[in-house]
Amino acid sequence: MATALWRRGWRFRWRAPAAAGRVRGAAGAAAAGQRNYDLLVIGGGSGGLACAKEAAQLGRKVAVADYVDPSPRGTRWGLGGTCVNVGCIPKKLMHQAALLGGLIRDAQHYGWEVTHPIPHNWRKMAEAVQNHVKSLNWGHRVQLQDRKVDYFNIKASFVNEHTVCGVTKGGKETLLSADHIVIATGGRPKYPMHVEGALEYGITSDDIFWLKESPGKTLVVGASYVALECAGFLSGMGLDTTVMIRSIPLRGFDQQMASLVTEHMASHGTQFLRGCTPLQVRRLPDGHLQVTWEDRASGRQDTGTFDTVLWAVGRAPETRSLNLEKAGVNTNPDNQKIVVDAREATSVPHIYAIGDVAEGRPELTPTAIMAGKLLAQRLFGQSLDLMEYDNVPTTVFTPLEYGCVGLSEEEAVARHGQEHVEVYHAYYKPLEFTVAERDSSQCYIKMVCLREPPQLVLGLHFLGPNAGEVTQGFALGIKCGASYAQVMRTVGIHPTCAEEVAKLRISKRSGLDPTVTGC
């Protein structure tokens, strides 16, 4: 993940200094060099840039303040936030690299004479991915310039409720004030500081995509989508990869689907240490990392040797350095996320928070982007539209992709009761898997519906190739209130995996075998 993090803005006029009675900021009446804006966005990730660009297009004077502290390993990146630099974009490209390895192996079944073994060159892939990311960094800079949005590469913190002080890498300070301020600083990966050697010898998703050399034999600690996605593409590139799971995989997702995801990974070479927690990481004389862990059930300790330890144990919001207390902005004391209402407003009416930094929001790039756009339209475009956080589709880009939208089966049962929920499901075999003789044991679809006609669709879960593309299409129907009856009246496109959704005839309650036969 994120964040975030995780994108936009424009037009300029220097304002004359405000009259003394209207001056904003603790710096006093006429702070030298202070610049004033209609909107100041703190954070140059997906949501922040989207908000800034939208506001600028609506004719407002906008500034973006963005600064990336290097990771503990020293990794740095440019404008664009988590998504562009250390999240969605490089992740998807490395996922694609791993998928291509599988397709090359399939190719011989389709008549291509492929010489084995087929080595993978990490350095070449990483350079190509990093070059693309850098082009996106530049693209965001150009877009801001084209829309005449002021961009400041400064680390911003609040002076008061209308003013921030930004500090450059070289220590130069700049005061910025605005009528409206949006906080979109996203989050950063956590290190398990209680584990000896974690910070000294481990890396996170902030680093993996910028490694110049292959990480080699890797231990991934965690079971989030970040952990499983990284482990998946590492395994797909032929690297010896182990995932250490403390409790359950993909917490917050449908657990039947999560089990199938890890089952598929295990059957394709990824190793799992379940119910284990790390205790210590130390560097051996030969440069390898020795990890000691504990089996939580038995209390027994064990060790293993790895080239890389990747921590994927959660993310923390980037709020601690903002001096939010000086502006009166409230945070959740448990996780330091900013408390917001349905309008994205904080405890200070003209200060807003969007994206991963906001309490209770999905940590997803597209939600941050839409929330940012809608916020700008409400502030400056006479819109009243609020961001809707229900039925947000997403996909976990594990080797066998998992796409979902709406409620999990567990959530549906908890909300409506088992007797009011009907689940239609199927195990299917993608046509592409047949000639290549691929195992399709985990290719599975389920649609969670209300039992009472017309059986409103509450959630869709799809495990298989191109899950994101499939889920995106059905998400529109579910967003519009599609019923099971309507989906069943939808003509499928043949032969595709997506058409299997429109053929879900067998319910779990029936007890019948849900395996699809025939074409």
Where is the binding site for FAD, in residues? 92, 356
What is the DSSP secondary-structure string of 386-424? PPP-SS--EEE-SSS-EEEEE--HHHHHHHH-GGGEEEE
Contact 449, 457 (CB under 8 A): yes
List the structure tokens of 150: 């002021």
Going by DSSP bridges, is the β-strand pair 394-396/402-406 parallel, antiparallel, or unpaired?
antiparallel
- What's the count of helices (H) and strands (E) in the chain, helices before strands? 14, 21
- Residues near 457 by Cβ (< 8 Å), separated by ≥ 6? 406, 447, 448, 449, 477, 478, 482, 483, 484, 487
Q: DSSP letters along 82-100, please?
A: HHHHHSHHHHHHHHHHHHH
494 noted as active-site residue: yes
Give bridge partners of residue 188 from the DSSP assignment.
316
Helix H segments across 285-363? Answer: 324-327
Distance CA 127, CA 119 (A): 17
Would you list which residues are annotated within the binding site? 92, 222-229, 314, 356
Strand pairing category for 173-183 and 351-353: parallel
φ/ψ (deg, to 5) at 142:
-65, -40
AA letter at 352:
Y
How many Cβ atoms are within 10 Å of 332's Cβ, its own excluded? 13
What is the sign, positive or negative, of the torsion defined by CA atoms of 430, 432, 434, 439?
negative
Tokens 């796409």 belong to residue: 403
Residue 346 CB-density burial (10 A; 0-12 exposed, 13-18 middle, 19+ buried): buried
Radius of gyration for the alpha carbons in the chain, expressed in angstroms and rounded: 25
Contact 436, 396 (CB under 8 A): no
- Angle of helix 225-236 versus helix 255-267 axis, rounded to 10: 20
Phi, psi angle pair for 40, to nearest 5°: -120, 125
Question: To the nearest 5 percent, what fractions of the chain are helix, strand and coil?
Answer: 30, 25, 45
Is residue 460 within 8 Å of 471, Cβ to Cβ? yes
* Amino acid residing at 410: E
Q: What residues are designated binding site for NAD(+)?
A: 222-229, 314
Candidates 116, 120, 461, 494; catalytic one: 494
Question: How buried is 240 (Cβ within 10 angstroms: 0-12 exposed, 13-18 middle, 19+ buried)?
Answer: middle
Question: So which residues are the catalytic ones?
Answer: 494
